[in-house]
Amino acid sequence: MAKFVTVEEAVALIPDGATIMCGGFMGCGNAHKIIDALSKSGKGNFTLISNDGSMPGGPLGEDYYGVAKLIHNKQVKHLIATHVGLNPEVAQQMNEGTLKVDLIPQGSLAEMIRADGAGLGGVLTPTGVGTIVEDNKDFCLGKQTINGRDYLLMKTVHADVAIICGHKIDKAGNVWYKGTTRNFNLPMATAADLVIAEADQVVEIGEIEPENVHTYGVFVDYVVDGGKA
Amino acid sequence: MEKSEIKGFIAKRVAKELKDGDVVNLGIGLPTLVPHYLPEGVKVTLQSENGIVGTGTVTDENKDPLYVTDAGGAPAAVGPGGAFIDSCSSFGLIRGGHVDATILGGLEVDEEGSLSNWIIPGKKVPGMGGAMDLLVGAKNVIVAMEHTAKGNPKILKKCRLPYTAVHCITKIITEMGVINVTDKGLELVEYNPEFTVEQIQAATEATLIVSPDLKPMC
């Protein structure tokens, strides 16, 4: 059963140098309260798995939006993402040699995370065949031909800690996502040793109908009340 | 043609490629103009790879930038009958052949129907995002772009920049003409009457096969 903790307690669970995955897409669906606290924690040396580096300039006038705070504070040494073009600091830190970046096709990354959480050993995808994705041996194990079509064999992706964000989370840890925030939160909740979820609102059991649970409470270890209720 | 008219002209021609009921994914820039030019009676379902099937129009009433955005992080909306989905489902839809057409721009395209648009090594490394999956998975890949860049051909014998995907393009639509990608090479099937076929070939590094049924672009 998920434990409810303060944001300080949640950040204390994240070790320095951890591999962390953050759900979200250009900041939409990032766990903003936890990430903000993590950005002020002094911890770093993280490997960050995220769709993107988010962007400076959030919709509420934030200087840095979501995971962009961790990048701005130079807490990330290695970023595994699909698109980093909207956060100029990623290219800047890459050029300075302080940030390693691996770029993976978006559909492949999503499925590599899902496969890890589903106990599969890899993903066979036609995406990236004939491109430099084939050359990234840390993630691509080679090519296979099945029924005449070429596929890349991609490794699965796992993290020490997944930081996800749901709009409603009930007291059993069941999560319901609003709008487009479901994105990478859904697979990431299945693919880490420790899953910390931020709830915009904590609700009673039953308020999310069982048919409408997106991430089941069994995946969620800790919940932080984001206090947006 | 005035520079300011080019994008609208291309988008208008691209719109004629879409059929009523198509599921379509649009790249950034020029492709986003295409829905404005859909012929009467043609309704398409737009997919946004970050998690919307059936996008709608953003209004002051439905705008919700913390919860509903497009793949560029800008406010978006779901339309009537639409759905929000996660990234695995979204790319299942894309790779699984459930998207009828993707329309996107290109830095370079080539005779083999390959496309490069995600990286300029040493200069610009934005990442491929969902482009590689879209090119491999969509039933029709329509490249909508200006024919040249600063006077230099973008339609090449072979792409020089790293590929986004190989052997993937169905059709190339520019302000000069409409080109089908065939097993034999690039076939010019429509031309803009403001240009001669010779001028179009001169602006193209790849050799164009002129269709016996060549028609003016309309």
CA distance B53 to B138: 15
Closest CA to A139 of A120, A156, A160: A156
Interchain pair A59, B51: CB under 8 A: no
Could you give the 3-state DSSP secondary structure of residue A168? strand
Centre a 10 Å sphere on the Cβ of residue B69 and count the other Cβ atoms it contains.
28
* β A19-22/A3-5 pair status: unpaired
Q: What is the pLDDT of residues B116-169, one digit of tens each?
A: 999 999 888 999 999 999 999 999 999 999 999 999 999 999 999 999 999 999
Residue-range domains of chain B with CATH: 3-216 (3.40.1080.10)
Chain B residues with CB inside 8 Å of A107's CB?
A: 87, 90-91, 94-95, 130, 132-133, 137
Q: Give yes or no for residue A229 having a pLDDT over 90.
A: no
The pLDDT value recorded for residue B11 is 97
Closest CA to A103 of B148, B196, B119: B119
The pLDDT value recorded for residue B3 is 86
Closest CA of chain A from B64, distance in Å: 9
Q: In the block, which residue shows the tokens 């130079």? A: A74
Residue-range domains of chain A with CATH: 3-103+157-225 (3.40.1080.10), 106-154 (no CATH)
| Cross-chain CB nearest to A130 (options B69, B71, B163) | B163
ipTM of this model? 0.97
The pLDDT value recorded for residue B95 is 98
Chain A residues with CB inside 8 Å of B51's CB?
A: 25, 180, 182-183
Q: Helix H segments across A13-153?
A: 32-39, 68-72, 88-96, 106-117
